Structure 1
Amino acid sequence: MKRNNKLFIGGGVLLLVILFFVFSGSSSETGPEVVVEVEQGEFVIDIMTSGSLDAKNSVPIKGPTGLRNYRIWNVTIQDIIDEGTEVKKGQYVARLDQSELTGKIKDSQLEVDETQSQFTQTRLDTALTMRQARDELINLEYTVREKQLTLDQSQFEPPATIQKAEIELEKAKRGLQQAKENYEIKRQQNVAKMQEASAELRGDKNELEGLMALSQGFTILAPQDGMLIYERSWDGKPVKAGSQVSAWDPVVATLPDLTKMISKTYVNEVDIRKVKRGQSVEIGFDAFPDKNLKGRVTKVANVGEQRPNSDAKVFEVEIEVFGTDPLLKPGMTTSNKIITKTVEDALFIPLECLHSQHDSITYVYKKSGASTVKQEVIIGDANAEHVHIIAGLDAGDRVHLSSVQGMENKEVILLEEMNGKRNPQKVEAEPEPIQNESQQPQRRRRNN
């Protein structure tokens, strides 16, 4: 009796297996048949990008800011403390190479010495010139007095003698007046020479003093307490000993405010039109796979750029990170899921279910009772895994994930609302599964 029961049970199981394969249809081209149900609910269209964590606000740690004033365009970092070091205000951070500055200080000192010598020589020359001019004036004044005395003593002389004395006195007076005028001109000339020499000396001394003061900035100290983060160059690489610091922006590191963080990412030119300020973002962290935070797009660049090792144009996008975590540090890699659109109460299926016929008909293999039919569908937006179904399917319908063998020549059940909107192609033509982006609805791209 027990043996008969076992045979009966075994036969029943075998019958169920046979019925399963009969009612599930034929096997697909690639393996066992897989059928999924049409889902209904919130459909999210998003863009995935990778980015870098950064502080929203930070205090720059700069080298000397007056380099350009002294024609120093680049300086080399000679030494810098480790990134991530907690520093106190006034603590040593880095030292810049002073080789070029030292050479300029030596040259400036030589110029000061030379200018000082020229200034001294000019002062001596002008003093001597003015002394000679003053002596000449004194002598001419004596001459006038002598001529006046001669005239006074000639009152009882013949008229011709008196007239001659008067002429000599007049000539002496005119000579004295001309000498006084020449003396004033020489004085003004010598004052100008001294002012010029003094200005040149003062300028050279100021440059030397400025260079000496500039040298103090080559030893860089922390402006306040914080955690040291290296400055990044244009290609994203952190500075290090041996790196060049530009005179236009001599930042070597920053002290970030870790209470407010952002993620800087880049979106390719195809997807950037979908990204808008205010869109929600789900942020993950490569260093902490279990940690996720929310965020919001706060800035979208208007001008594209070309990143290193990439031919595609990308646009910088800034994402504000909501919340803080002591484990998060600037420079960490983030995965950013930018929610570009949400459709409520939508029908959607996996992208693998879609097929195309002559680029004019999009259809799926739908289960219809015990059989399978080719059903035309109207699709909307898609994300990385699913596509929004606008028409052609209902919630709970079952569709195949892949092509069904033996149905290549079956007709597609067409939608009435698509009549007149298709290309004039034969519906009976051989179907072509969707395999590339030109045939699929646009998929989400992961941006680098």
Structure 2
Amino acid sequence: MNKIVKYILIGVLVIGALWAALFFIKSNSKSAVTYETQQPFMADIEKKTVATGKVIPQDEVEIKPQISGIIDEILLEEGVKVKAGDLIAVIKVVPNEQSLYQAQGRVKNAQLAVNNTKIEYERNKTLFDKGVISSQDFNNLQLSYNQAEQELKNANADYQIIRRGSIGGSAAANTNIRATVSGTILEIPVKEGDQVIQANNFNDGTTIATIADLGKMIFEGMVDEGEVGKLQVGTPLKITLGALEGTELDAKLKFIAPKGIEETGAVQFKIEGDVEVTDDVFIRAGYSANASIVLEKKEDVLVIPEALLQFDKSTNKPYVELAVGAEADQKFERKDIEIGISDGVNVEILSGLTEEDKVKQWNKTEPIKKGEEEEGADGEETEE
């Protein structure tokens, strides 16, 4: 019995030794990580920011009625180009009963005054012809008669305007809604039968149509407070439209808001830029757009890919690792550097490197094998 146990123990030890040997061989059979190098090079570099916003007409004019009433007829449609003076719609007047009654009363009073002064005028004219009264007295009576007739005309005109919206035969009737500027009709928010009111001290009035010149467009967007201080009026912009892929328009910054607006915890500043609209591109009002703005630009400077940078954990200063000796030796040493602007891909080198230096590239040249994925979570190998 003791011999059997002894043989079992010996067998277990032999198997364990073989397993340990195989594990050791497998662990040490992994190929060494080989790092490639890159050299700094000369290039142009730009630091950009992107402002999100929309493209809108420079001026939008709202057409409002001169009198309250009901839309009787709409003659044009949205999207139609118009000239100043073109008829857009016609309003049917629904007079206020109290105002209409008062206007009728003024007409009757004016008619009574005319009848009375007419009798006096005709009676005194006979006396004047006989030489009974002086010319001055007759002239005064004639003036009173003429004034009474004019007052009757004015009262009749007021009555017609209140009842129908215009005087019969007038070419500039208040009921005719005409374009005040040339452009494209963007919107007609009313329809036939809608009631509209004129502008007054307590109401802006009903908008019959909105007109704008689509040949004069501006970009309106928002910029973060960290970048607004680097902007200047006149800075060129590149406008890309979400609705028109591959279309890029030139623009110039013309306005930077002096006051910011807080949105989701960040302060944003409104900017505007004049867009150069070309004849081959039709831009609709309200297109969403992005404006690319160059904050800083340097030409022919020494740069390296930003992926080659490392940052010291204690000082947060940048450094790279340079190859020492032959590249096959895979020996590197740390080199502190000073960097300038970055475009997100390349970064400017102010000092610490030359074009002859070979900078360590941190990505592995071999794909990660299955079984090494868990080790990869601990970070890449770093030699200092």
Picking from 371, 382, 393, the partner of 2:342 is: 382
Q: CA deviation at 1:119?
A: 0.6
Cα distance in structure 1, aligned partners of 2:103 and 2:128: 37
In the alignment, what sits opposite 1:254?
212
Picking from 298, 312, 315, the partner of 2:267 is: 312
Residue 350 of structure 2: SS of its match in structure 1? strand
Identity %: 9
Cα distance in structure 1, aligned partners of 2:361 and 2:77: 57
Q: Are 2:306 and 2:344, in contact at CA under 8 Å, matched by a contact in 1?
A: no
Residue 312 of structure 1: SS of its match in structure 2? strand
Q: Which amino acid aligns with 2:211?
A: A
In the alignment, what sits opposite 2:176?
216
Cα distance in structure 2, aligned partners of 1:308 and 1:206: 54
Q: CA deviation at 1:268?
A: 3.7
Cα distance in structure 1, aligned partners of 2:186 and 2:231: 29
Q: Is 1:63 aligned to residue 63 of structure 2? A: yes
Q: CA deviation at 1:47?
A: 1.7
Q: Which amino acid aligns with 2:242?
A: D
Q: How does 1:108-187 map to 2 (within 5 A)?
A: 109-128=100-119, 187=141
Residue 325 of structure 1: SS of its match in structure 2? coil
| Cα 1:333/1:401, change in 2 over 3 Å | farther
Cα distance in structure 1, aligned partners of 2:308 and 2:274: 32
Picking from 286, 299, 302, the partner of 1:344 is: 299
Cα distance in structure 2, aligned partners of 1:338 and 1:214: 49
In the alignment, what sits opposite 1:204?
158
Cα distance in structure 1, aligned partners of 2:71 and 2:52: 32
Q: Are 2:231 and 2:295, in contact at CA under 8 Å, matched by a contact in 1?
A: yes
Cα distance in structure 2, aligned partners of 1:364 and 1:107: 87
Cα distance in structure 2, aligned partners of 1:273 and 1:338: 13
Cα distance in structure 2, aligned partners of 1:285 and 1:194: 67
| Cα 1:125/1:81, change in 2 over 3 Å | closer
Matched positions, count: 321
Residue 389 of structure 1: SS of its match in structure 2? strand
Taking structure 1 as the reference length, the TM-score comes to 0.51
Deviation string, structure 1 residues 234-275 (Cα, Å, up to 9, x no partner):
xxxxx6779999559875133534xx7654434344423333
Q: CA deviation at 1:87?
A: 6.1
Q: CA deviation at 1:202?
A: 6.4
Q: CA deviation at 1:330?
A: 4.3
Q: Is 1:281 aligned to residue 237 of structure 2? A: yes
Cα distance in structure 2, aligned partners of 1:345 and 1:332: 37
| Cα 1:405/1:390, change in 2 over 3 Å | same
Q: How does 1:331-410 map to 2 (within 5 A)?
A: 331-346=286-301, 347-350=303-306, 353=309, 355=311, 362-369=317-324, 370-395=330-355, 397-398=358-359
Q: Which amino acid aligns with 2:31?
A: V
Picking from 17, 33, 41, the partner of 2:43 is: 41
Q: Which moved more, 1:118-127 or 1:265-274?
A: 265-274
Deviation string, structure 1 residues 326-384 (Cα, Å, up to 9, x no partner):
4654433333222233211222442793536666x522342443355554332323344
Q: Are 2:128 and 2:138, in contact at CA under 8 Å, matched by a contact in 1?
A: no
Q: CA deviation at 1:109?
A: 4.7
In the alignment, what sits opposite 2:7?
none
Q: Which amino acid aligns with 1:18?
A: A
Deviation string, structure 1 residues 377-402 (Cα, Å, up to 9, x no partner):
32323344554332233346425669
Q: Are 1:365 and 1:400, in contact at CA under 8 Å, matched by a contact in 2?
A: no
Taking structure 2 as the reference length, the TM-score comes to 0.58
Cα distance in structure 2, aligned partners of 1:195 and 1:93: 35
Q: CA deviation at 1:131?
A: 7.1
Task: Give the gaps of 5 or more residues in structure 2.
Answer: 1-24, 167-172, 325-329, 364-377
Deviation string, structure 1 residues 377-434 (Cα, Å, up to 9, x no partner):
32323344554332233346425669977979x7xxxxxxxxxxxxxxxxxxxxxxxx
| Cα 1:49/1:199, change in 2 over 3 Å | same
Calculate the aligned-residue CA RMSD, in Å.
5.6
Task: Give the gaps of 5 or more residues in structure 1.
Answer: 1-10, 25-33, 142-178, 232-238, 411-448
Residue 18 of structure 1: SS of its match in structure 2? coil
Cα distance in structure 2, aligned partners of 1:126 and 1:251: 49
Q: CA deviation at 1:316?
A: 2.4
Residue 250 of structure 2: SS of its match in structure 1? strand
Cα distance in structure 1, aligned partners of 2:71 and 2:209: 12
Cα distance in structure 2, aligned partners of 1:137 and 1:325: 81
